[in-house]
Amino acid sequence: MIRLYHVAQSRSFRTLWLLHEMGLSFEIERLSFFDKSLRSPEHLARSPAGRVPALEIDGRVLFESGAIAEYLCESRPEHGLGRAPGTPERIDWLEWLHFAETIGQHLANLTQQHIALREDWMRSPTTMRLEAMRLAKTVEVIERDLEGREWLLHSGFSAVDVHVGYSALIARHFIRLDDMPNVAAWLRRFETRPAYLRAVADDGPAEIYTKDFYEVPA
């Protein structure tokens, strides 16, 4: 039995999508950032930092999305979403997998500023501007590397498109992609993947990003 502990629109969407790409059977346990479920003793026993995803699988509980992706791809290589040690694209696969966390840090800072802080006096327009600029720089890396190909790796779609793709999808709430046609086309290609569409349907109602775009206050 596989069980995913999930919050809509959060990083656990990566795991949700990857599980669908693999065609695995799993259950979803839904939690929320806006109640006490992530701080319950039961969830803290699964995820010591009180975050998602947490994944019960093969008699273990994993709570880091990058580690979950590596484990899923390496324990179930028949799905072709990883790149094995010693293969030509292994280094690139690992680089992109961890670059998703670099993008995610800027997203987390912007999410805190725009959404988690409830009073305007708590927010810093300077921090918002700086983090949006830093986020744009990371997405520009994706734009450059997608030139001339459909997916992040030359050999085709993999788990790193899932992980980096989630970050780019959320980035659209804070930066505009008008000057990034390769990224925009890549994101549209996700919608041709049945597993992505199933993950979107399973994700649940928007809870975190309730606006299409978050402008930096004057």
User: Tokens standing for 82?
Assistant: 């990883």
Q: Which of 46, 79, 112 is the last residue of a domain?
A: 79
Shared domain for 149 and 101, answered yes or no, is yes
Does residue 216 have a pLDDT over 90? no
* Residue 182, domain member (yes or no): yes
* Residue 175, domain member (yes or no): yes
Tell me how many domains the chain contains. 2
Question: What pLDDT sits at residue 103?
Answer: 98
Residue 216 has a CB neighbour count (10 Å cut-off) of 17
Shared domain for 103 and 46, answered yes or no, is no
Question: The CATH number of the domain where 52 resides is what?
Answer: 3.40.30.10
Which has more pLDDT, 120 or 66? 66
pLDDT tens track for 59-99: 999 999 999 999 999 999 999 999 999 999 999 999 999 99
pTM across the whole model: 0.96
The domain of 26 spans 3-79
d(CA 218, CA 216): 6
* Residue 70, domain member (yes or no): yes
Shared domain for 187 and 103, answered yes or no, is yes
